[in-house]
Structure 1
Amino acid sequence: MCAIFGILGEHDEKKAKDALALLSHRGGDFCGITQGQNLFFAHHKLSITGTNSDSNQPFSYEKILLSFNGEIYNYKELRADLSCEFNFKTQSEAEVIAASYLKWGVNFVLHLRGMFAIALLDDEILYLFRDRLGKKPLFYLHVNAFIFASEIKALVPFLHSIEMDEDALLSYLSFLAPTPPFTFFKNIKKLAAGEYLIFKDSKVEIKRYFDLLDTTPSLITNRDEAVFLVQNALEEAINIRLATDVPMASLLSGGIDSAAINAYAKKASMDIQTYTLGYKEFAKYDERQNASLSASLLGVKNRAVEISQREFDESCDIVLDALDEPLNDPAAVPLYLLFGHIKKDGYKVVLSGEGSDELFLGYRQYFEFLDIEKLTNLKNKNWLSGYFHSNFSMNREWERYKRVFDGSLLFRTTGENFTDLQKNVSMKRNVRDNESLKYIQNYRETFLASSHSDESIWYSYIDLHLFQAEHYLTKLDRLSMAHSIESRTPFLDHKLASLVFSIDPKIRYMDGVTKSLLKSALKPMLDEKILSRRKKGFSNPFMEYLIESKKISLIKEVNEKTGIFKKEILDEHIKKAANGGFKQHIWGLYVLSVWLKKYLL
C-alpha cells in the first residue's frame, strides 16, 4: 500500500518533490523517484508483503516504467504461470505486473486480483488503472503537463487558480461525495472504479475494462447451490487477504460482516486482534456490548476504544484536511481516531467489512424501494401525481412517491441526501427536478443495456459504484492511510461480487429478510445470537458534538459570504437538525463550509 505520483511534461523539480512529500503518510518505508526529460515518476512505499528492496518502486522492466499502489493477491500464481516466458529477477508484485502487461497488453489488468491504482509508462504512452470496485484512488490533472497522484493534495499546487467545480458541488449534495470524474477542484479529475486512462500525444482517453453487469443474470437459480457457492467464495476472498508480513488487526462491530471475517480468520488459524469503538458521553451510540459478546462467541481478542467529545473536536479539522475535499460521512472522525489507536498498537493492516450490505441487500430501505416500485404498475395514478404535486413536503419520502407517479427513476443510491427539490428550495440557484440524474445517467444506461432487469441488481450496482467506491471506500482509504495503515475489504473481492450478480436476484430478497442469503451461508460459522442481532450501523453523536462545540455556526458564517443557500431555509434545516431531523444534511453543509472557508474565502 503506497502512494503514486507522476508528471509527464515540463515541470519544476523542487515543486514536484514538494508535492510528492504531501503523500509521505501513505508510505514511509521508501521513497523512489525516476526522472528524465519531461518525466517525473515517483512512489512512496508502505511495506506489507514485500519488505525488501526488491519491491521498491518506480520499477523499470525492459521498456516499462511502473508505479502502483495496492495489493495483488494472486501475484505468486501469476509469476508461476509467466515464469516459462520471463526470467524474473525479484519476488515483487511490480515485476509480475510489468511481465503481465508485456504478455497481455492492457488486458493484463483482467488477470489481477486485488486492489490497485497503477501507473504504467510504455515508451511515450501512459496508462492509469483503478481497480474494479474502486478501493484505491487515482486523480489526474491535465494542464501544461499531465500529472497524476493517489490524493488530490499532491495536485492542488499545480493549479493556476483554485475554483470550485459546480458539478462536484451538486453531485456531492445529492450523493454524499462528488461523482466521477468530478472533484471539488475544477480541472482535477478522478478515475471511476473499473476504468483506465490512456495519455498519448497530449490527449486523454478514458475506457472501462470491467463491469459487474457483464455477468450472466440468474445463472444460479437454486438457493442451496447459491449458499454453497457464497460460502466458498467468501472464505477464499478472506483467506487470500490474510497473507501479510506485518501485524494485522480487524474491525469488529456487533454485526455479521465483521464477525464473518473474524470467524473465517479464526478458522484459518489467524488469531487477529479486533477493535471496537465507543463514545464516552453517549454510550447509546456504540456497539461495545454487542462487539464484546461477538468476540467472546468467536474466541477472538477485542479492544474497545472510547473517544470523547474533546478528541472528536480536536481531530475534526485534521480529518477534513486528510479527505482533501468534502465527503459527507459523520463517521469519518471516529474512524480516524480508531485507526490512530490501531497504529499505536503496531498494526499496519486492518480487515474491514465494507461491501456486504450492497451485495447482499443489508439495508432495510432496499426492501422498501422494491415495494414502492410496484406502484409504477398502477393504471390510474394521475390523481395521485396531482396530489403529490400540490402537497409539497421537504421530506425525501415525499419526493420518492412523487417519482413513482411521475414515472421517473426511483432509486438513486442509498446515499441520496439532498433531493433535487430539496436543493431547489434550499439553494439560491435554480435546480430542476431530476437534474441529479445526469450524474448517474451513464450507470443507468449501462444497466438498461445489460442483460439484467431486476431493480435490486440496479440498487446493488449503483451503490457499489457511488455509495461504496466514492463514499465509504474514500473514507476508508484516506483515514487508514493517514496513519500508514492498509485496509483490506474481503466482501469487495471482484470474484465474490460477480458471483452474487450471477445469482437469481430473488434469492436475495424473496423472504423479506435483510442479508438472507449471506446469513444462510454463515450459519455454520456464526452463533445465532450474532446472526439474528438487529443491524445498528456505525452511528455516532456527531450532531450533539457539532452543536455543543458551536462549530455548527460556521455554516451560517460561510453562507453569508458565499450566498449559496437561502438564509431562512438554512436556518430551518439547522433548527430541525437540533431536534434529530436533517442531521446528515447539516453535517454535509458543515463539511462543505470548512472546505469553502479554507480554499475560496
Structure 2
Amino acid sequence: MCGIVGIVGRPPEDPGVIARMTALLRHRGPDDSGVWRSPGAHLGHTRLAILDLSSAGHQPMHLEELALTYNGEIYNFHELRAGLAGPFRSRTDSEVILHAYRERGAKCVHGFHGMFAFAIWDERRRRLFAARDRLGIKPLYYRPLAGALAFASEVAPLLELGRPEIDDEALSDYLTYSYVPTPRTPWKGIFKLGPAQTLVWQEDALRLDRYWRPEPRCSVADLAAATAQLDELLAGIVPEHSLADVPVGVFLSGGIDSATVTAYLDRPRTFTLGQPEAARSEAAAARRVAVHLGTRHTEETAEVADLAGAVDELVEVFGEPFGDSAALAVWLVSRFTSEHVKVALSGEGGDEIFCGYRWYGRAMSAPAPAWRRLSAALLPTFTLAGRSAQRRGCADLERYASFLGLFTPAQKRALAGPRLAAGADDLWHFRRHWRPELPFHQRLQWADLYTYLPDGMLTKVDRASMAFSLEVRPPLLDHRLVEWALTLDAALQRDAATDRGKLVLRRLMAGRLPPGHLERPKRGFNLAIRRWARANPGLLAGALGRLAANGIIRRPRPFSPTNEQTWALLVLDRWLRRHDGAYAS
C-alpha cells in the first residue's frame, strides 16, 4: 500500500509544494518516497513495500513518456505480465500497470484483479489518466485548478494548495449518512473519484467514465450447485489475496466472514480485538476458530482511557468528518496488528454480497403492501428512540434509508441549524443508486455496494489501517465473487426458516468451523459511547453548544441521541474546530 499525489498541467507556483504534499502521506508508505518532475507534471509517492522489496520498485515509475504513481495491489499481475511485451526491470505490479497502459490504453483496467488507485501522466500528449478499483477499496481525491489538476490518496495534501470554502451541503449530508458521500467532500472544489471510475484530464478538460457495472440477475437457484461454485471461487481468490513478500495475517472476529477467509489459508497468523466487557466480546469465539483452524493467534483487549483524545486522533486520520464509531475498533486492531505484519486480510464485504445485515431480513420479510405505502413524512416529531415506528408505512427507499441513515429526514428537519441547506433532497445519494426494477434483495445489495460500502465501510478500513502503515485486503470483495453473488436467487441469500443471511456461505462452511459457530448471533463492536458520555457530561454538552452557536444544529427537545449519533456529533464538532476558521469555540 502506498500514498500518491500529483499536480499536472500548469506547474505549481511553489516548487516545494509537491514534496510537502508527499510528506503528508508518509504514514501510507514509510519504506520509501519519491518525487518526479517534468514540464507538465509533478508526481509524488510514498511506498509501503509489499512486493519486490528492492529499489526497483521505487515510484514514481516511468516508462518512456509515461510516469506512474500507484497505490494498491494487482493480484493477477504475473498472468498479465506474461502477455505484455516488456522489457521489465522489476518484479512489481507497478511496472505491469505501466506496460499494460502503454499497450492497451484506458482498457487496461478491465484486466486488473485487485484494489488500486493510480495515475499515469503522458508527457508527450500532456494527458493524465487515473483510475480507481471496481469496489472503491482504495481512495482517490482530485481538485481542478486553473489550468491544472491536483490529486491525492487523501484530502490533506490537496489542502496544501490553499483551503477552499467548506461545503455546508456536504455537512448536511453527513448528518444523513454519517459520512460525506461521493463525489462530495467537505470542501467546495475537492472531489472523490468514485468506484470503478476513470478520469482523463487534458488541456484543462476533465472527463469521468465508469468501466465496470455488474448486472444482477437471479440465475442461480440450486443450493448444492451454488455451494460448489462458491467453494471453487474462494479456493482461488483467497490465496491470491495473500500474495506478498512480507508477513501476512488475518483480522479474525467472531463472525463467519473472517473465519471463512482464515479457513481458505494455510494456518495464517490471526489477530483479534476483544472488548472490555466479556459478555459482548468476540474474543472467545475468535479464539475457538483459531484453535480449530490451527492458526498462530494473537489477541488484545481494547483499552481507551481517553475517548475524547481518540476522537481527536480519528479526526486527524480521516481528514473528513466520519461518524461510524466502529472506526475506533478498526484503528485499535490495526495498531496492534501492525506490530506483527505488514498485510492483513479481512472479511469486509460478506454482509453486502451475501445479504447478511439485519436490515435485509427485516426489509425482505415485511409484507409487500406495507413497503409501498409512502408516508407524507417520517414522523415530524424528533424522537430518536422510535425508529421502528418511523419505518412503518415508508416506501422501499425511505425504509432502507431509515436503517442506514444517521438521522432520518424528519429528524434532520428538527435538528439542522440555519447554516445547513434547507429543502435539499436528503436521500439523493441513496436515490441515485436505487434500482426499483431489481428483485428486492438485489436493490438492497446494489445500494449497499455503491453507498455504504465504499463511503462507509471501506473508507473506515483504509484510513484506520493506513494510519499504522498496515495494508488490509478484503478477498470477499474480489469483483469476480461480487459478480457471482449478484446471480443468486433470493432463496439462496437468506434462510426463510431462520431469517438468517449468508445461506450459501453457511452451507459451505458447515463442518469447517467449530460446532455452534454458524449459529452465533451477529454482534458489532460497541464501546458504550452513551454511557461514557453520561460519565463525561461536559464533553457532549460542550459539543452540542458549539454546534448550535455556530448554526449547525438546533437543540430540539426531547433529545436523547443514540450511540452512533452521539459519536457523530462529537466528531463533527471536533472536525469543525480543526478545519473551520470561523467556527467559534
SS of the residue 1:69 aligns to? strand
**Normalised TM-score (structure 1):** 0.90
Partners of 1:388 and 1:60 in 2: how far apart? 55
Offset of 1:302 from its aligned partner? 2.2
Contact in 2 for aligned 1:248/1:273 (Cα 8 Å)? yes
Letter of the 2:16 partner, please give it: K
Offset of 1:349 from its aligned partner? 0.6
Deviates more, 1:313-322 or 1:128-137: 313-322
Partners of 2:377 and 2:105 in 1: how far apart? 58
Counterpart of 2:543? 555
Contact in 1 for aligned 2:249/2:268 (Cα 8 Å)? yes
Compared CA separation, residues 341 and 101, structure 1 to 2 (3 A): same
Counterpart of 1:296? 291
2:532 aligned with 1:545, yes or no? Answer: yes
Q: Which has the higher helix share?
A: 1
Deviates more, 1:490-499 or 1:61-70: 61-70
Counterpart of 1:287? 282
Counterpart of 2:390? 399
TM alignment of 1:79-98, pairs within 5 A: 79-82=81-84, 85-98=85-98
TM alignment of 1:138-537, pairs within 5 A: 138-144=140-146, 145-159=148-162, 161-212=163-214, 214-215=215-216, 217-265=217-265, 269=266, 271-280=267-276, 282-310=277-305, 312-344=307-339, 346-372=340-366, 374-376=368-370, 385=375, 394=384, 395-404=386-395, 409-412=398-401, 414-429=403-418, 435-444=425-434, 447-448=435-436, 453-509=438-494, 511=496, 512-537=499-524
Counterpart of 2:77? 75
Letter of the 1:484 partner, please give it: S
Counterpart of 1:591? 571
**Normalised TM-score (structure 2):** 0.92
SS of the residue 2:89 aligns to? coil
Compared CA separation, residues 417 and 377, structure 1 to 2 (3 A): closer
Contact in 2 for aligned 1:354/1:489 (Cα 8 Å)? yes
Offset of 1:86 from its aligned partner? 3.1
Offset of 1:119 from its aligned partner? 0.4
Deviates more, 1:288-297 or 1:483-492: 288-297
Compared CA separation, residues 412 and 195, structure 1 to 2 (3 A): farther
Offset of 1:376 from its aligned partner? 4.7
Offset of 1:168 from its aligned partner? 1.8
Partners of 1:40 and 1:106 in 2: how far apart? 21
Offset of 1:567 from its aligned partner? 2.0
Letter of the 1:274 partner, please give it: T
Contact in 2 for aligned 1:29/1:46 (Cα 8 Å)? yes
SS of the residue 1:68 aligns to? strand
Partners of 2:336 and 2:240 in 1: how far apart? 26
Gaps of 5+ in 2: none
SS of the residue 1:411 aligns to? helix
Partners of 1:195 and 1:517 in 2: how far apart? 31
Deviates more, 1:69-78 or 1:521-530: 521-530
Partners of 2:452 and 2:203 in 1: how far apart? 35
Gaps of 5+ in 1: none
Contact in 1 for aligned 2:371/2:394 (Cα 8 Å)? no
Contact in 1 for aligned 2:382/2:411 (Cα 8 Å)? no
Counterpart of 1:56? 58
Residue deviations 1:439-486 (CA, integer Å, cap 9, x gap): 233322xx35xxx62121111111122211111111111111111110
Partners of 2:279 and 2:412 in 1: how far apart? 32
Offset of 1:389 from its aligned partner? 6.5
Partners of 1:387 and 1:207 in 2: how far apart? 36
Compared CA separation, residues 139 and 48, structure 1 to 2 (3 A): same
Contact in 2 for aligned 1:248/1:349 (Cα 8 Å)? yes
Letter of the 1:236 partner, please give it: G
Residue deviations 1:131-184 (CA, integer Å, cap 9, x gap): 00010000011123311000011111213x442213321222111211111011
Offset of 1:259 from its aligned partner? 1.0
Letter of the 1:154 partner, please give it: P
Partners of 1:110 and 1:171 in 2: how far apart? 32
Letter of the 1:466 partner, please give it: T
Partners of 1:392 and 1:322 in 2: how far apart? 32
Partners of 1:544 and 1:96 in 2: how far apart? 52
Offset of 1:313 from its aligned partner? 4.3
Percent of pairs identical after alignment? 29
Compared CA separation, residues 389 and 21, structure 1 to 2 (3 A): closer
Deviates more, 1:134-143 or 1:538-547: 538-547
Offset of 1:185 from its aligned partner? 1.7
SS of the residue 1:410 aligns to? helix
Contact in 1 for aligned 2:70/2:116 (Cα 8 Å)? yes
Residue deviations 1:216-237 (CA, integer Å, cap 9, x gap): x123232211111111112222
Contact in 1 for aligned 2:379/2:410 (Cα 8 Å)? no
Partners of 1:323 and 1:287 in 2: how far apart? 26
TM alignment of 1:106-125, pairs within 5 A: 106-122=106-122, 123-125=125-127
Compared CA separation, residues 60 and 414, structure 1 to 2 (3 A): farther
Compared CA separation, residues 388 and 228, structure 1 to 2 (3 A): same
Partners of 2:60 and 2:75 in 1: how far apart? 20
Compared CA separation, residues 58 and 168, structure 1 to 2 (3 A): same
Partners of 2:431 and 2:243 in 1: how far apart? 39
Counterpart of 1:6? 6
Contact in 1 for aligned 2:378/2:410 (Cα 8 Å)? no
RMSD, matched Cα: 2.3
Offset of 1:90 from its aligned partner? 2.5
Counterpart of 1:27? 29
Partners of 1:432 and 1:374 in 2: how far apart? 32
Compared CA separation, residues 527 and 393, structure 1 to 2 (3 A): same
SS of the residue 1:366 aligns to? helix
| Number of residue pairs matched by the alignment | 571
Partners of 1:264 and 1:223 in 2: how far apart? 21
Contact in 2 for aligned 1:413/1:467 (Cα 8 Å)? no
Residue deviations 1:376-434 (CA, integer Å, cap 9, x gap): 578xx69xx58986988553333332323xx8653238532211111001113487788
Contact in 2 for aligned 1:361/1:508 (Cα 8 Å)? yes
Partners of 1:224 and 1:413 in 2: how far apart? 35
Contact in 2 for aligned 1:31/1:44 (Cα 8 Å)? yes
